[in-house]
Chain A
Amino acid sequence: MSTDRPRKQIHLAAHFPGVNNTTVWSDPRSGSHIEFDSFVRFARIAERAKFDFLFLAEGLRLREQGGQIYDLDVVGRPDTFTVLAALAGVTERLGLTGTINSTFNEPYEVARQFATLDHLSDGRAAWNVVTSWDAFTGENFRRGGFLPQERRYERARAFLDAATQLFDSWDGVRVEPDRAAGRFLAGLDERDAAPTPGAFAVRDDDFDIEGHFNVPTSPQGRPVIFQAGDSDAGREFAAASADAIFSMHGTLAAGQAFYADVKGRLARYGRRPEDLLVLPAATFVLGDTAEQAHEQAALIRRQQVSGATAIAFAEQLWNRDLSGYDPDGPLPDVDPDPGEHTISRGRASVRHFRDRIAVAAQWRELAAAKGLSLREVVIEVTARQTFVGTAQSVADDIDRYVQADASDGFILVPHITPDGLADFADTVVPILQERGVFRTEYTGTTLRDHLGLTRPTPGSRRPARFGRVAS
């Protein structure tokens, strides 16, 4: 750790427990994932702990496996904008980040929605821009599966560019009603015969839109922009256009490599390292002693991977129906089907098994070496908790990661809804505060204030620059 620079301030965020097997719904403390009261409790714990923001993920079609709705994890979620707008009414400072797809939406509507959220929350809105392309999800939308996979980042870039133009379209125009003079807006160009705010026009391969945007400039100018993809195109997209990147790197070394890579891309876009925050997702388990925390972590992993979940997970690798196998028995004796992936739809993780035969071979080696059952193998290979230990050791680990430039903070993913963050808030946060690396009070009002991001200059940093640099 460098000694000649001040200690970095840590950013912390709260990921509402989601539709995946990190979330343990079988625990008696597990509440509703739909009822608004769960969101209120979750948000209030995060705000009490002075977190930067709350984060909602997205899923626009219920996941399926073997042609049926996948029923072993939490299923269902509410609408993102509606929940965040309502949460703006029960919180005062907490940032509100929504994941919104650039494939199954249109820029005008999404720009209106984020500008509205930013107004209604007094400057706390953030947009995690994600892409999808699959025809499976498209079946719920007007245009179906219209977008080829290789074009998804082009559309995302064009979408964000269009939305940015809309966010900037009231530049210089203010709502400053002058009753006596009969002028509702100030700053319109008076030389214009018909002065009108919000003019925009976008013409590219993806969009042909024009007119006048009908939402005045919001408190943050633009919402904070997040990007979540890990591919080269995703990283470049983030370097060109995002304020923060939501990543998934578990180890210190992997985090440092990722951090150096994305921060290294910024100069090409005339940006400084502090203009893009790296905020990986992280899970945690706390205990009074290290031993107790590790025991608890192992217990949670067993809850996360039931026998049925283990079979389902193995089916995603084998690409076959394995319902006849015993999860407490050995791994399947057949090889994975290397053909087109057909067993699971609506989840991103299956793409990660690039060579199924090779991964299955690794699983077999692991099973043989440790004498593990199918379920035990799945427990071994699925994601382990990022931080396990006492409040003191978890605080140490988090601080070490941030000071060693593996991240700028973490988006914490508790495994229990809605109170899974309470222990962390009550025990880890005070240690970080005492150490002077995490705020004890909010010092600003907007999410940009919390993240140390400057208000964007209208017209600046359009994603279109990415295209020019890359060519």
Chain B
Amino acid sequence: MTHLHLSIALDGAGWHPAAWREPGARPGDLFTAGYWVDLARSAERGLVDLITIEDSFGLQSSDVRGPDGRNDRVRGRLDAVQIAARVAPATRHVGLVPTALVTHTEPFHLAKAIATLDYVSHGRAGVRAQISPRAVDSDLVGRRYIPEFDRTGPITGETAELLDELFTEAWDYVEVLRRLWDSWEDDAEIRDAATGRFIDRNRLHAIDFTGDFFSVKGPSITPRPPQGQPLVTALAHAAPDLRELPIRFAAGQADLVWLTPHDRAQAQGLVEAVHLARQQSAAGSAPVHTFADLVVFLDRPGESGADRKERLDTLDGHEYRSDARVFTGSAAELADLLVDWQQAGITGFRLRPGVLPDDLDLIVEALTPELQARGRLRGPDGANTLRGLLGLPRPENRYATTRQGVNV
């Protein structure tokens, strides 16, 4: 039986906006290292292959145009790459995949940050590349202006062009990350005392990337990381208005695509769409993981997941909805769903706990043993790297291959 992969999406006090008000939540600890270390260690105990950490430049808001003035929800967050780095020495196996905003950051800086995350975690780093189409975010950085646009109607004209631009830029950005990670060959550091050379500079490569939005010379200042290429992930929303832009970007540039199907048929359709878009891209037949996102509220003794969610909805004043399917029920029922979707081509799942740490603890204590009992989960002795856990090979260095080609 094929194993399925588990991952956990960490965000604040959990994905329900009122999660912080639960007795088990730790809202006063959200800005402390200990909170994130505890969550990462729990996930690791649950044989989770990787955790993701959400991020954004702007303050959280229910209104994409700017702050909503609500003080009954979590506000404020820490830089996700540093949270991942901070938990790295406190964990041994779990993959660490922070979100990074590509629209307003420097690919050169992010390439070395994720390469370094790979060093400090001994080969467990990845990144989720995310765009920001929000005017309010562009005002924070000031390097470029992104206009506010009408989100109520169909996307046309200038807005369509803008979204095209943002996804094209994201594509270029990931291309630069990948080239910079390869810009040092693995054996570039030679420490040759006889000639006094620390490196063989023929094994370092300018990347000479030139695109419509930026150019980057290279090489990186950081040597090639342990995994060669840390894991690149992207969320592919299946929004008709976005004209397949997210799925084309994710399928073409990522090693792992997050999907948001609401049923098995959608799951199957999305997986097929990813593979088709992959085939049509330069990535071709390179392996790609298709993970489904689910928000989960699990049953616990004395209270069902559905009741827990309803109680929080009442506190918040709104029924919680999500881009992903919202699951309420028992660990056994969730295991049924995961196995069912796995048969539709989904290779793994990213569970977004409705409440932290409550739903994460329930996943670890109930879902993990349930999946193990069904033979669907790996044992505790997994591979040593994130790529290894996901069954992905360590990629060849594009520049080394070229050089060998020239030599032959």
A117 touches B82 (CB 8 A): yes
B157 at the interface (CB under 8 A from A): no
How far, in Å, is A407 (CB) from chain B's closest CB? 30
- Chain A residue with minimal CB distance to B200? A71
- Chain A residue with minimal CB distance to B108? A140
With A76-B223, A106-B143: A26-B193 Cβ-Cβ less than 8 Å? yes
User: In whole angstroms, what is the CA distance A351 to B195 when docked?
Assistant: 28
Question: Which of A60, A121, A193 is within 8 Å of B108, CB to CB?
Answer: A60
- Contacts of A60 on B, CB cut-off 8 Å? 108, 221
Stretch at the interface among B113-121, B239-247, B273-281, B293-301: B113-121
- Contacts of A197 on B, CB cut-off 8 Å? 59, 75-76
A36 touches B57 (CB 8 A): no
B71 touches A177 (CB 8 A): no
B21 touches A179 (CB 8 A): yes
User: In whole angstroms, what is the CA distance A121 to B32 when docked?
Assistant: 8
- Contacts of B120 on A, CB cut-off 8 Å? 36, 78, 82-83, 86
- Contacts of A209 on B, CB cut-off 8 Å? 139-142
With A36-B119, A85-B85, A211-B140: A112-B72 Cβ-Cβ less than 8 Å? no
- Chain A residue with minimal CB distance to B193? A26
With A77-B222, A212-B58: A113-B140 Cβ-Cβ less than 8 Å? no
List residues 68-110 of chain A with CB under 8 A from any CB of chain B: 68-69, 71-79, 81-83, 85-86, 88-90, 104-106, 108-109
List residues 206-238 of chain A with CB under 8 A from any CB of chain B: 207-216
- Contacts of A108 on B, CB cut-off 8 Å? 57, 140-142
With A86-B88, A106-B143, A177-B28: A307-B82 Cβ-Cβ less than 8 Å? no
With A78-B222, A89-B87, A108-B57: A113-B79 Cβ-Cβ less than 8 Å? yes
A188 at the interface (CB under 8 A from B): yes
A contacts with B, residue count (CB < 8 A): 80
From A117, A170, A309, name the one whose CB has the most chain B CB atoms within 10 angstroms: A117
List residues 12-32 of chain B with CB under 8 A from any CB of chain A: 20-21, 23, 27-28, 30-32
User: In whole angstroms, what is the CA distance A182 to B87 when docked?
Assistant: 30
How far, in Å, is A212 (CB) from chain B's closest CB? 5
User: In whole angstroms, what is the CA distance A116 to B32 when docked?
Assistant: 9
Stretch at the interface among B210-218, B263-271, B353-361: B210-218
B315 at the interface (CB under 8 A from A): yes
- Contacts of B162 on A, CB cut-off 8 Å? none
How far, in Å, is B348 (CB) from chain A's closest CB? 26
B313 at the interface (CB under 8 A from A): no
B76 touches A75 (CB 8 A): no
With A36-B120, A74-B198, A90-B89: A184-B71 Cβ-Cβ less than 8 Å? yes
How far, in Å, is B108 (CB) from chain A's closest CB? 5
A299 at the interface (CB under 8 A from B): no
From B75, B105, B106, B117, name the one whose CB has the most chain A CB atoms within 10 angstroms: B75
Question: Which of A73, A79, A113, A207 is within 8 Å of B222, CB to CB?
Answer: A79
With A88-B33, A183-B72: A71-B222 Cβ-Cβ less than 8 Å? no
User: In whole angstroms, what is the CA distance A185 to B88 when docked?
Assistant: 29
List residues 70-114 of chain B with CB under 8 A from any CB of chain A: 71-79, 81-83, 85-90, 104-106, 108-109, 112-113
B82 touches A85 (CB 8 A): yes
A79 touches B116 (CB 8 A): yes
How many A-B contacts if CB must be within 8 Å?
236
- Contacts of A358 on B, CB cut-off 8 Å? none
A185 touches B71 (CB 8 A): yes
A61 at the interface (CB under 8 A from B): yes
- Contacts of A368 on B, CB cut-off 8 Å? none
B82 touches A81 (CB 8 A): yes
- Contacts of A195 on B, CB cut-off 8 Å? 69, 71
How far, in Å, is B356 (CB) from chain A's closest CB? 14
B223 touches A34 (CB 8 A): yes
Question: Which of B30, B56, B69, B143 is within 8 Å of A193, CB to CB?
Answer: B69
B58 touches A211 (CB 8 A): yes
B191 at the interface (CB under 8 A from A): yes
B108 touches A106 (CB 8 A): no
B68 at the interface (CB under 8 A from A): yes
B204 at the interface (CB under 8 A from A): yes
B374 at the interface (CB under 8 A from A): no
How far, in Å, is A26 (CB) from chain B's closest CB? 5
- Chain B residue with minimal CB distance to A312? B196
B90 touches A69 (CB 8 A): no
List residues 154-210 of chain A with CB under 8 A from any CB of chain B: 170, 175-177, 179, 182-185, 188, 192-198, 207-210
Please name 20 pairs of A and B residues whose Cβ atoms are closer than 8 Å in the assembled complex, sorted by A: A34-B222, A36-B122, A62-B219, A69-B199, A71-B198, A75-B199, A78-B116, A79-B109, A79-B116, A82-B85, A83-B85, A88-B33, A105-B106, A113-B82, A120-B86, A197-B75, A198-B59, A209-B142, A214-B77, A308-B197
**A interface residues, Cβ below 8 angstroms from B:** 25-26, 34-36, 40, 59-62, 68-69, 71-79, 81-83, 85-86, 88-90, 104-106, 108-109, 112-113, 115-117, 119-122, 139-144, 170, 175-177, 179, 182-185, 188, 192-198, 207-216, 306-309
**B interface residues, Cβ below 8 angstroms from A:** 20-21, 23, 27-28, 30-33, 37, 56-60, 66-69, 71-79, 81-83, 85-90, 104-106, 108-109, 112-113, 115-117, 119-120, 122, 136, 139-143, 184, 189, 191, 193, 195-201, 204, 213-219, 221-223, 315
Q: Given A85-B85, A108-B142, output 12 extra A-B contacts at Cβ < 8 Å.
A: A34-B223, A36-B89, A72-B198, A89-B86, A106-B141, A106-B142, A109-B57, A119-B32, A139-B215, A140-B218, A197-B75, A306-B196
